[in-house]
Structure 1
Amino acid sequence: MDRYSMEELIQLGQDERDRVQKKTFTKWVNKHLIKAQRHISDLYEDLRDGHNLISLLEVLSGDSLPREKGRMRFHKLQNVQIALDYLRHRQVKLVNIRNDDIADGNPKLTLGLIWTIILHFQISDIQVSGQSEDMTAKEKLLLWSQRMVEGYQGLRCDNFTSSWRDGRLFNAIIHRHKPMLIDMNKVYRQ
């Protein structure tokens, strides 16, 4: 802690989180874009013209969306707007994400948009026994996480922040699915 101030350490942690999210979200997008014979290398750059974003939504939804063919900024903004309007039409809540944010490659808002798409098209489809009809995707995911760590001594999943800080819940979920990968005795000792 001698070399870095607290603010610098916090910034380093945030930068690492953003780097991991970018890499993870890029893989998720490519997993779906392959069905449209498309691929992205840089999440922030390759969504800017709206074409990959529209293709992603088409693959996820099965719907066909219009798109502008030109290469000017106006066409890029229009394509991103088509994608955002489609999401709003599907009742996806977009908070402070505008077409120019994505067309300009804004990292935070691009990550936020992709996370919102993941929540809507992937996590909202999760079915967990014992769920109520009106549960949000986040509540379903929390319930699923709680079920996954049942029976693991001293582990509780109450939220997506402090409950996950020491890594034990993550290890328990991996252990639940692939016990040979994680030595839970070592996890408990740490």
Structure 2
Amino acid sequence: MPEAVADARLLAAVDQARAALLEITPADTVGEPLGHIVEGEHVLSLLFDCNLPGYPGWRWTVSLSRVDEDSEPSVLEAELTPGDDALIAPEWVPWSDRLADYRTAQELAAAVAAAETLDLDDEDEDDLDEDEDESDEDDLDDEEDDEEDRGEDVLDGIDFGEGLAAPHLNPDESGEAEAEADDGAPEPPAEPGRH
């Protein structure tokens, strides 16, 4: 089937199409003509730029037709339609489908959380095993230190009392040191005859 050719009279009906748009929208929202779409024999849509805020990439579309070569153009409809770059809402999805998707997502999230909990439990057990091994090694090290301490002490045989009593080490406390070195014997009275 051969492609329909654009009707020249319909292509020239730009003012008629614009007038139809002004019945549904303010004049400042209708921009310059953008082209046309041939819908069929003696049927085409004229496209106008849309200046409405929030509708980038949209266009005003006015569909026109003629019955035959001798008739005048008539407006079929005027509407706002999305262009190739228009921002449009996603396709409508029934509630039952959206609910099923939501439940599936919740089940998946619960399964992932359960798997992560199992992984954490396994890691905790591994950490506990490592801590026990380290604790056993620390106990062995302490025992070895204790055995070393039971060996000969380099300070054995030193009498610290004698060292403290030496007058050349503590000249200020020499009198007290001599009294302590006297095996605790009582001192004689300072004046004879007084008790």
- TM-score normalised to the size of structure 2? 0.20
> Which of the pair is proportionally richer in strand?
2
> Which of the pair is proportionally richer in helix?
1
